[in-house]
Amino acid sequence: MTVAPDKPDPNGIDQMLDELAALPVPDPSGDLVARVLADAEAHLPAPGGRVAVASWWQQIVRGIGGWGAVSGLVAATATGFVIGLGAVGDTGVDAFWTLGYDDAYYDTDLGLDAFGWALEEG
C-alpha cells in the first residue's frame, strides 16, 4: 500500500511537465485537413449574398440580454403592478376598487387588500 506524502513535491510536478512538453506533437494528417477545409467551405454563405439584418424587435431583445432577461422584466413588472394595486387600498382611493359598483358590493371595513391581512394581527 502506498502512502501519499502530506505535501506534493513541486520539483516532481515541474519535471513531469517538462517531460510532457518535450514529447513530439504529431502533425494532423492530410486527410483530416482536407475534411476540415471541405466542412468549412460548406458552411460559407453563397457568393454575392446579403447579410441578414435582424428586425428591430430581435435587436431590442438581444440588447436587453435575451429572452431570459425579458421574462425577468415581465415577472418584475407584474409583481410591482400587483404590489402597487394592493397599496392603493390604503390611500383612500375607493373609486378605483369599486369599478362602478356601489357600497353594497364593496365594503371598505373588510381590509382584504394585499397589506390588510398583515396589519390585522389581532
CB atoms within 10 A of CB 69: 13
Q: State mean pLDDT over 1-28.
A: 79
If you average pLDDT over residues 39-59, what whole number do you get? 86
117: Cβ–Cβ under 8 A, 6 or more apart, which residues? 111
The Cα 112–Cα 86 span in angstroms is: 9
Query: CA-to-CA distance for 114 and 85, rounded, in angstroms?
Result: 8
User: pLDDT class for 29, splitting at 50, 70, 90?
Assistant: very high
pLDDT in tens, 63-122: 999 999 999 999 999 999 888 777 666 665 555 555 555 555 545 555 555 555 555 555
Query: Rounded to 5 degrees, what are φ and ψ at 110?
Result: -70, -40
| pLDDT above 90 for 35 | yes
More confident residue, 14 or 35: 35
Q: Give the span between the Cα atoms of 19 and 15, in whole angstroms.
A: 6
State the Cα–Cα distance between residues 61 and 119, nearest whole angstrom: 41
Mean pLDDT of all residues in the chain?
Answer: 77
pLDDT at site 113? 55
pLDDT > 80? residue 55: yes
